[in-house]
Structure 1
Amino acid sequence: MQENEKQILIENLLHSIRKHPASVTSNGVQKTLDENALAKEFYTLISEATGDHYKSEQKQVTILLADLRGFSAMSEKHTAKELIDLLNRYFHKMSEIILHYGGTIDKFMGDSVMALFGAPSSSEDDLERALACAVEMQLAMNDVNATNQALGLPNIYMGIGLNTGTVVAGNLGSILHSEYTVIGNEVNLTSRIEAHSLRGQIMLSESTYDQAAEYVTVGTINDVLVKGRSQSVRLYELLSTSRPKQLEVPQREIRKSPRIAVNMPLNFQTVAGKTVQAEEYEGRINNISYNGMMAVLPMPIQPSAEIKIHFTLSMMSNQTSEVYAKVLHVQELDKHFYCQLEFTFIDDDAQRELKEFIDRIIESN
């Protein structure tokens, strides 16, 4: 029973009592019934009768956290009603799938949804159902986006993180309002894992992968530093699961790594054949990933051309790293040239520094 339903029931009971006032006699003294005490007693009885009165306990659970990518930017082009309606359609679809696989919807937070498998009740196939649920959720985005397109709205994309571990589960709140939820380091880790997922991806923690290795296939393996952990955390990209049936994650994102928005200077030289040209140019980096960047250049460059980049990410040193990149795509807009670049050469030190820089930015968001 939902909290608002309990409150309505309690108010109806109190209303009935007010219509038929009664008093009790104690030690010869007549006393009026205390409505606040009655409300508390009703709440306890209703919670116990409906099974909502959970005591806190440690439980092994798989936590699923899904979040939309780029949703905040949509607020600039669409009305609040359009966005609320879009979110409700999305949440409705995801809720159907979570409940179908026996998950418990823990909460909605902005444009994200968190679900539990193994709490409040648990079974041997909690992890299997959680993984299948995540894949079905990504598959269902086709239907969500078909509706968006019919309504003249843009496609939306979702990243999902899953983690398996021990949490404290129980009712959190007060007699006025409480909800069943889980807390602990594993919940925080799930949020960090989800933040590293690209649109359309499902990322697994090492503990989740270890327990499901015999029936899942994975792709990219990424070691990242996350807040609250002294050691790097290994993440696995889920590609498919064979339990309880064969399901494959749809491929939506061609990027091979997380991409973050930045506003950084880009100093570069063009390359003709195998010769680096002497003239230096300056542009701006709009976003950057482990493997490339999107930059605004002062002049057009042909696709497949190569440039030599000089840039530093270290705040402790002015030393620049030399990186080579190939132009994949160029688009002119308002006399600016937006270029998609893929790194063709980056030394180990620069790659490590770049990865740590991107991971720090992701963690701070």
Structure 2
Amino acid sequence: MLAAFKQNLWRWRGVLIAVPTVVGVVALLRLAGLLQTLELASLDQLFLLRPQEAVDSRILIVTIDETDIQKLQRYPITDAVMAQLLNNLKQHSPTAIGLDIYRDLPQPPGHEALLKIFNTTPNLVGVQKIGSTADSSSVAPPPALQKRDQAGANDLPLDIDGKVRRGLLSATTQAGDSIFSFGFKLAYHYLQRQGVESNLTTDGQIYAGSAIFPPFEENDGGYIRAGAGSYQVLINYRGGIDRFQRVGIMEVLENRVAPELVRDRIVLIGNIAESYKDLFYTPFSGRLGTPERTPGVAIHANLISHILGAALDQRRLIQSLPDWAEYLWIFGWTAIGGVLCWQQRLTSGNTQLLLLKRFRLVVAGGVLLVSGYGAFLLGWWIPLVPALMGLAGAAVSVTGYLAHSAGEMRKTFGRYLTDEVVSNLLETPSGLQLGGERRKVTILMSDLRGFSAVSEWLPPEKVVTLLNLYLGVMAEVVDGYKGTINEFIGDGIFIMFGAPVRRADDAQRAIACAVAMQCAMSAVNEQNQQLGLPAIEMGIGINTGEVVVGNVGSQKRAKYTVIGSHVNLAARIESYTVGGQVLISEDTLKDANCDVLIDGQLQVEPKGIRVPITLYEVGGIGIPYNLKLPVETDVLLPLEPTVFLEYTVLEGKHAVGTLFQGVLTQLSDFSAELQTDHALDLLSNLKLHLKTGRDRAPVTGDLYAKVLKKAANQDNRFLIRFTSVPPEIATVLASLRQV
């Protein structure tokens, strides 16, 4: 149980690291208030995207614009004009009249007439300004209305970005008294006429009918430490001033307003002129182009509509989740982002599924936005910006973690596998699946001639140094020709062309790579000489054919490789080579279909192959590679006297046991002519023991060679090529050549 738990922890380590970290960062940004502007902007977009609501016919706005001011030829308008305006409206029996114009001082003439209207109109509500700022001060209500408790606060709380999203239901004065707001008093008159009760709950919350208006808290929704004084609510805006019926002041003064437009309605009187500076930014100011400002009277109309709609129409209030629920929401979407990104490396699928996986984060983001929009339609404001940041942040963090891990894995596995194989394992979703596919691949096998014998007399440390030097140079050459080193087999190299990446010129590059590898052996031996190491030679065999390519092994341990008879044949071809030689099969020559320089050919019958095959000895390759093997000058000199020896024929790496006699009749730096009464098969490997001097004293050490061909017109003489020459025998052979 504990082991399985630990395994799951390790399996999801990236998510377990990224998600809490990202949530912590997002939470800190949010608590610091750095996301508040973005969250408020997202709320504005929700208002703008919401279907447009119907005009609220319960409210009529009487506007005063710049044209009206010019016609009246005075502003503030006189008490006489105001009295006429209110009297004309009273005649049509409105439910309530809201005067959203400051009248703390008389504006003669006509003051007595206006006072009479104030004193005889119980459903008239005036305004007063409670708060004061650096550029404004408090304004007292009309004294006559204040005495009759017919004045309400018309203050509008501004958000950090200067927009009005909240409204007051009641306000606290500087003296500590609480008065209802202008909008709530008008709504109260209307609800009272409708027989709907509005009052305070036992815990001090305002209600109207079945609707309870929870007071705004400083951290509600996307707000952070916002001013929450008095009794505020988030206004569920209906829209701008166009969502309410309106008439101009001149229409009322000239009695050009239909009575039914006023009857039983709440009538608001307010100034919408630019010069009056009673214009504010609201959520509906966020449209493209120049932001529109909304008159203060229209904001009060929205607050009244908000109260009436909730009490009479079951219109939803805008609510926010508790803090713990909001952070749980953010955590959930952050976890989704991390899991989706992490799963992409754990799962696999077909091409269509892979296409879906690449866009599933986008899909998740779309689901988040749609969920937030749907919740808003139901009256809930849930945090979208932090959740989106969590979703994207987790995806970026997990991707970064995977990239870092992949980089570390590349560094580690890059020492054992090619970059292409590592990419196949790390980036291809099916890269770790067991199984394979049939594909034409060109296989290159290389091997050092006589390395086993060299490793017998060379100290182990020197053997490792020699081998690392050789393999390092060869790996650079292979990478240059885009070959894939499948593995190092002791002193041999198993190279693939066509897996995991298949290219049209695989066979050409394999031949060019082989020639380049042989050319690079001179640089290897120069370094060997500087380090006091022996010179080495390499043989290369190449074959092309259809094999199975893929991951072979078990779920715990697997290997990317190629399997098939053509792999075995490539190994057989390599076994026929001598130092400095490149042999290719006929299939490789045909598949290359380019200018390949052929120095010779031979027929062989490899074990396991039913019919003889032709091998071609490569001397170079033409355009675009233009590579040639170095020309080997090897002149056989007669030996006088001849050198006696004993030899055995090797089967694989083992001697067959029979000891044969022979003599060396000619000798060069790399080869010799062997005379023997025993018939030798071409390309067979021999183990030789030299005997020198008149007494035929045996020379210490073993000399290895390969039979290349029969000497011309001499059935008992064979040309052999040395494959391994120990230092002590090399000294003897050098002395024999000088005789």
Pick the aligned partner of 1:209 from 576, 579, 589. Answer: 589
The answer to whether the Cα contact below 8 Å between 1:128 and 1:243 also exists between their aligned partners in 2 is no
The TM-score, its normalising length taken from structure 2, stands at 0.33
* Residues 87 and 111 in structure 1, CA contact (< 8 A), matched pair in contact too: yes
In structure 2, runs of 5+ residues without a counterpart are 1-7, 18-343, 349-401, 403-423, 637-641, 650-659, 668-672, 681-690, 700-704, 720-739
Secondary structure at the aligned position of 2:512 is classed as helix
CA offset at residue 161 of structure 1? Answer: 0.4
Structure with greater strand share of residues: 1
* Aligned residue type for 1:311: D
The secondary structure found in structure 1 opposite 2:457 is coil
Report matched runs for 1:187-226 at 5 Å: 187-212=567-592, 214-226=594-606
Structure 1 residues 131, 255: CA separation in 2 closer, same or farther (over 3 Å shift)? farther
Report how far residue 13 of structure 1 moved. Answer: 5.4
Distance 1:121 1:239 in 2: 27
Query: What residue number does 1:157 align with?
Result: 537
**Residue identity matched to 1:50:** E
- The answer to whether residue 468 in structure 2 is matched with residue 88 in structure 1 is yes
The 1:255/1:60 distance shift into structure 2, 3 A limit, reads: farther
- 1:180 pairs, out of 551, 557, 560, with 560
Matched-pair identity in %: 35
Q: What is aligned with 1:31?
A: none
Please name the residue that 1:123 is paired with.
503
Q: Name 1:311's counterpart in structure 2.
A: 677
Q: Which amino acid aligns with 2:432?
A: H
- Residues 661 and 676, structure 2, Cα contact 8 Å, conserved in 1: no
* Counterpart residue number, 1:345: 713
In structure 1, what residue type is equivalent to 2:532? Answer: G
CA distance in 1, matches of 2:533, 2:347: 46
Cα–Cα, structure 1 residues 337 and 16, in superposed 2: closer, same or farther, change >3 Å?
A: closer
In the TM superposition, residue 48 of structure 1 has moved relative to its aligned partner by 6.5
Q: Quote the residue 2:551 is aligned against.
A: 171
Change (3 A) 1:302 1:42: closer
The structure that is helix-richer by fraction is 2
Write the deviation string for residues 63-107 of structure 1: whole angstroms up to 9, x where unpaired: 111100011111232211111121111111111111111111111
Q: 8 Å contact 1:167–1:184 — kept in the other structure?
A: yes
* Aligned match of 1:286: 647
Distance 1:103 1:301, change over 3 A: closer
CA gap of 1:184–1:48, structure 2 versus 1, over 3 A, is: closer
Cα distance between partner residues in 2 of 1:284 and 1:345: 23
Give me the whole-angstrom Cα distance separating, in 2, the residues matched to 1:151 and 1:135.
25
Distance 1:16 1:211, change over 3 A: closer
Deviates more, 1:242-251 or 1:135-144: 242-251
1:50 partnered with 2:427: yes
Would you say the 8 A contact 1:132–1:244 is kept in 2? no
Q: 3-state DSSP class of the match of 1:345?
A: coil
Q: SS state of the match for residue 441, structure 2?
A: strand
Partner of 2:609: 229
What are the superposed Cα offsets for residues 279-303 of structure 1, whole Å, 9 maximum, x if unpaired?
A: xx99544378xxxxx9765xx9899
Q: 1:101 to 1:310 in 2, by over 3 A?
A: closer
Query: Which structure is higher in RCO with an 8 Å CA cutoff and minimum separation 6?
Result: 1
Matched position secondary structure for 1:156: coil
Cα shift at 1:313 = 3.7
Q: Report the Cα distance in structure 2 between the residues aligned to 1:17 and 1:163, rounded to whole angstroms.
A: 47
Distance in 1, matches of 2:522 and 2:468, equals: 16
- 3-state SS of paired residue (1:245): coil
Residues 64-83 of structure 1 correspond to what in structure 2 (within 5 A)?
64-83=444-463
Letter in 2 for 1:343: A
Supply the distance in 2 between the matched residues of 1:149 and 1:13 (Cα, whole angstroms).
51
Compare CA radii of gyration and give the structure with the larger one. 2
